[in-house]
């Protein structure tokens, strides 16, 4: 109950900030009364929220990846496992005026059946890095991650999810490389829960179009 109340309070603050931004001249409807700052607030306080919520260069860069991507790759079930080929489709769509992108991923995993994953990725203006969340049809939990971008546009992700065997947070690495205007690769590296060894779980080459 307390968590729900906290969420509702935070939502109310954000809605109020939006109204204040409008009142300060950021698209205020003509004829509407001007909104007043809450007691103790300064214009700088309000502008901090406006800046935090304004899409910028990194958001535009993410949106450039929009489209349907066809993937061909390999997966490994463990450090000593053989490579297993598979194909997949990834659809990336910008949302909320370019603030985020959604990733809709579908494929047929050999011996495991149909796979459907869905993620939301964005750039946190305040934290200064990329953020993402992922869910899929093979689990009931969430995987959360943060990423940094190198000069060549490579995103290196650090993910965390709850291991079903050990029932504790477990790390996973992802490397997304842009290899051309309509080509890119993705690697996933995880830790084998039995041996503790890190290994390459998946590698996919994507082509847009």
What domains appear along the chain, each with residue ranges and CATH number?
2-54 (no CATH), 59-208 (2.40.128.20)
pLDDT tens by residue, 107-145:
988 788 899 999 999 999 999 999 999 999 999 999 999
DSSP helix/strand/coil, 17: helix
Cα angle value 130/135/139 (rounded, 5°): 140
Contact 145, 136 (CB under 8 A): no
H or E stretch at 201: strand 198-208
How many other CB atoms are there within 10 angstroms of residue 33's CB atom?
Answer: 7
User: Model-level pTM greater than 0.95?
Assistant: no
| CB neighbour class for 136 (10 Å; exposed up to 12, middle 13-18, buried from 19) | middle
Beta strand pairing call for 100-109 and 113-124 = antiparallel
How many other CB atoms are there within 10 angstroms of residue 66's CB atom?
Answer: 16
Rounded to whole angstroms, how far apart are CA atoms 163 and 209? 35
Contact 177, 204 (CB under 8 A): no
Rounded to whole angstroms, how far apart are CA atoms 140 and 181? 35
With CA atoms as reference, report the closest residue to 200 among 188, 184, 192.
188
Tens-of-pLDDT digits for all 209 residues of the chain? 544 444 444 444 545 555 545 444 455 567 677 778 889 999 999 999 999 999 999 999 999 999 999 999 999 999 999 999 999 999 999 999 999 999 999 998 878 889 999 999 999 999 999 999 999 999 999 999 999 999 999 999 999 999 999 999 999 999 999 999 999 999 999 999 999 999 999 999 999 99
Q: Which are the contacts of 203, defined by CB distance < 8 A and separation ≥ 6?
A: 73, 74, 185, 186, 187, 188
Helix axes 2-23, 43-52, angle to 10 degrees: 110
């Amino acid at each position: 109950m307390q968590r729900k109340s906290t969420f509702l309070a935070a939502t109310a603050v954000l809605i109020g900030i939006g109204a204040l931004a409008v009142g300060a001249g950021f698209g205020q409807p003509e004829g509407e009364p001007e909104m007043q700052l809450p007691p103790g607030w300064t214009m700088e306080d309000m502008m901090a929220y406006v800046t935090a919520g304004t899409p910028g260069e990194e958001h535009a860069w993410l949106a450039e990846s929009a489209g349907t991507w066809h993937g061909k790759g390999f997966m490994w079930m463990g450090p000593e496992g053989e490579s297993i080929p598979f194909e997949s489709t990834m659809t990336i769509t910008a949302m909320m005026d370019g603030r985020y992108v959604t990733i809709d991923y579908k494929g047929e995993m050999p011996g495991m059946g149909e796979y459907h994953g869905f993620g939301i990725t964005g750039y946190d203006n305040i934290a200064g890095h990329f953020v993402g969340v992922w869910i899929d049809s093979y689990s009931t939990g969430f995987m959360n991650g943060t990423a940094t971008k190198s000069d060549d546009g490579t995103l290196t992700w650090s993910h965390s999810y709850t291991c079903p065997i050990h029932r504790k947070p477990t790390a996973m690495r992802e490397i997304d490389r842009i290899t051309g205007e309509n080509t890119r690769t993705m690697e996933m590296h995880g830790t084998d829960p039995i041996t503790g060894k890190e290994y390459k779980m998946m590698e996919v080459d994507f082509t847009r179009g």
